[in-house]
Amino acid sequence: MKYITAHIRAANVYHGYTQDRQPIIDPVPADGFVEKVIKLDRILSITAKYIFIETPHDTVQTWEYTDGFENLKKKLSSAGLLID
């Protein structure tokens, strides 16, 4: 198993879609950022603002992070886990 560290804060939980194809989103109350060790298999994607994480019960969470997009890409690349 491979892991990555990041300073994150949970933002939203996505529960699927309505019959009208609108996403069902629950915001997570904003707490401070915490350092977290994240199993790479849980990461669905990373954008400049969010890490999209697979969570139990067929949900997805978005986490804000402070580490910077380029820094996370460098961590993944140096571990041989990113193809540019």
Q: What is the pLDDT of residue 27?
A: 95
Q: What is the C-alpha radius of gyration for the chain, rounded to an integer number of angstroms?
A: 14
- Supply the pLDDT for residue 30: 84
Low-confidence ranges of the chain (pLDDT < 50): none
Question: Hey, is 74 helix, strand or coil?
Answer: helix
